[in-house]
Chain A
Amino acid sequence: DGGITQSPKYLFRKEGQNVTLSCEQNLNHDAMYWYRQDPGQGLRLIYYSQIVNDFQKGDIAEGYSVSREKKESFPLTVTSAQKNPTAFYLCASKRYGPKGTEAFFGQGTRLTVV
């Protein structure tokens, strides 16, 4: 089945450690996105990528890093510089181009700093 897979579903991290969230899609979509969801704040864009080896900062990129070495994969690293990393993280993808297609979302990763 085609779709977007995020792993793991739950992740625990000690303060001061970096952690990487996985996002893989087999939809042959060009663009991929990372969003952060906090209670009462909706979804906020962290990073996005339009093509392989290219990505842009979103609204809240500080403390995060990404890579896009393959079309199918867009991992997000939450670094120790992120001051409040506990949140729900959603990955999305869409076919490139302005018209027609909506973004498809993964099932999310809940990150908790302990």
Chain B
Amino acid sequence: AQTVTQSQPEMSVQEAETVTLSCTYDTSESDYYLFWYKQPPSRQMILVIRQEAYKQQNATENRFSVNFQKAAKSFSLKISDSQLGDAAMYFCAYRSNDGTASKLTFGTGTRLQVTL
């Protein structure tokens, strides 16, 4: 079974600075997807960024980018120019690409605080 580990329960960053959230995963599969989801105080889960394992290029979405190291099974999220609205829980998630219902496996989350 796949597992996802987020070893940082809480992180803090000053506004306009850069922060990196860590995620490692364990799998024997070669084809899969990785995701970062944001959960603000409203508790709505919002997709931040997605990485396909067969793509070597790291995904980017505006101020959000990932560092995907397939051999090391590492998938970190970098948030640049942090804003107060970035404060939230961030979850790393894994999904197989095996043609089934493709359920997500989540890490335990990292709570990000953004300070002035």
Contacts and interface: CB of A to CB of B under 8 A. Distances in A.
Interface of A: 31, 33, 35, 40-45, 48-50, 56, 58, 88, 90, 92, 94, 96-99, 102-103, 105, 107-108
B109 A42 contact: yes
Contacts of B91: 42-43
Given A31-B101, A98-B99, 12 more contacts: A33-B101, A40-B108, A42-B91, A42-B109, A45-B103, A50-B101, A58-B103, A88-B43, A92-B45, A98-B96, A102-B47, A107-B44
B44 A98 contact: no
A102 B108 contact: no
23 contacts: A31-B101, A33-B101, A33-B103, A33-B104, A40-B9, A41-B108, A42-B91, A42-B106, A42-B109, A43-B91, A44-B106, A45-B103, A45-B104, A50-B100, A50-B101, A98-B97, A98-B99, A98-B102, A102-B47, A103-B104, A105-B45, A107-B42, A107-B44
B61 interface: no
Contacts of B47: 102
Contacts, number: 55
B102 A94 contact: yes
A99 to B, nearest CB: 7
B44 A42 contact: no
Contacts of A31: 101-102
B25 interface: no
